[in-house]
Amino acid sequence: MHTLDKAINLIPISPGRFRGETSSDYENTVGPFGGITNALLLRAIEMRDDCFGEPLALTVNFAGPIAPGEFEIQASPTRNNRSTQHWSAHLLQREEVQATATAVFVKRRDSWSSNKAPALEGVPTPESLPRADTEGRPPWFSRYDMRFVDGGMEVMAGGEQSESTTRMWVRDDPPRPLTYTALASICDSFFPRVFLRLGRVMPIGTVSMTTYFHADGAQLQEHGDRHLFGVARGVNFRNGYYDEAAELWSHSGDLLATSHQIVYFRP
């Protein structure tokens, strides 16, 4: 079993209720890597018998600290339409809500399509770039094969930067066929924008994160286990919060997901 599948493995315990356990593989500096919390809440919804279609939107609010050990997730439908399902989910530990999620699942249909940005133009192949150094990084960092095109962690050594954009190739390590849960997790795999901007590490924590899934199942399958191309940038830094906007592109130039998060920081 892949480390990701182990980390998001959930046991049904009653209708819509699941039990899971935190994974030391995806530990962050404090608590679990946020991407895994994203993936877990999405997974709980997917596992419900009455869930149909594919995810379109997922918002996760990080409400409290998740401690190592067991947790439960309750996933409930909020509204069912013909081709759209609205969901709500809660991650509970010590009888307290530690994370909440809302999600929308849809039955996709063909339509006129366009994704404009030529993100991959002039970008070196992942094979031509060195893998990011995982030395001194929290465990989850080693679960991803990251290859920085620019704005990598080594830039931090140069102190304060005017830019907060990182472009990188990224995939699960070991490689794993892309699924919505894997994509939900990868969307959170950019190191914090404020580290890049200020050239140093500091306490941070995602408060809320929203992911839009643009890919249909066929596109995920076509992408397989190859590297995704990711772009992330910080837009605004103020009063102890900043936001990150991220795009995840397939190897062949399809925009698979966009995500946004607002993050607490203490400089």
Residue 149 within binding range of a copy of itself, rule CB under 8 A: no
- When binding is defined by CB under 8 A, the residue of 198, 204, 228, 248 that contacts a copy of itself is 198
Does position 38 bind a copy of itself by CB under 8 A? no
Task: From 9-17, 124-132, 224-232, 256-264, give the range in contact with a copy of itself by CB under 8 A.
Answer: 256-264
Residue 247 CB, nearest distance to a copy of itself (Å)? 7
List the one residue from 2, 31, 47, 63 that touches a copy of itself (CB under 8 A): 63
* Residue among 211, 193, 209 nearest 201 (CA): 193
Instruction: Kindly state the smallest distance separating residue 31's Cβ from a copy of itself, in Å.
Output: 14
3 class by beta-carbon count within 10 Å (0-12 exposed, 13-18 middle, 19+ buried): middle
Binding of residue 199 to a copy of itself (CB under 8 A):
no
CA 64 – CA 93 distance, rounded (Å): 9
Pair 208, 61: CB distance under 8 Å: yes
Q: How far is the CB of 132 from a copy of itself (least distance, A)?
A: 25
Question: Which range touches a copy of itself (CB under 8 A), out of 124-132, 141-149, 173-181, 237-245?
Answer: 237-245
202 CB-near residues (< 8 Å, 6+ apart): 194, 195, 265, 266, 267
Long-range contacts of 237-246 (CB under 8 A, 24+ apart): 237/193, 237/194, 237/197, 237/265, 240/264, 240/265, 240/266, 241/207, 241/265, 242/193, 242/194, 242/197, 244/190, 244/192, 244/193, 246/187, 246/190
Q: Is 64 in the site for a copy of itself (CB under 8 A)?
A: yes
Instruction: Choose the stretch contacting a copy of itself; rule: CB under 8 A; options: 10-18, 20-28, 35-43, 242-250.
Output: 242-250
Q: How many residues bind a copy of itself (CB under 8 A)?
A: 57
* Rounded Cα–Cα distance for residues 164 and 90 (Å): 32
204 forms part of the interface with a copy of itself (CB under 8 A): no
Question: Within 81-140, which residues bind a copy of itself (CB under 8 A)?
Answer: 81, 84, 86, 88, 90, 96-98, 100, 102, 104, 106, 108-117
Pick from 51, 155, 201, 207: which binds a copy of itself (CB under 8 A)? Answer: 207
Cβ atoms within 10 Å, residue 135: 7
Distance in angstroms (rounded) separating the CA atoms of residues 6 and 20? 10
CB of 124 to a copy of itself, least distance (A): 24
Contacts of 264 (CB under 8 A, 6+ apart): 204, 205, 206, 207, 240, 241
Q: Enumerate binding residues for a copy of itself (CB under 8 A).
A: 56-57, 59, 61, 63-64, 78-79, 81, 84, 86, 88, 90, 96-98, 100, 102, 104, 106, 108-117, 162, 164, 197-198, 207-208, 210, 212, 214, 216, 235-241, 243, 245, 247, 255, 258, 260, 262, 265-267
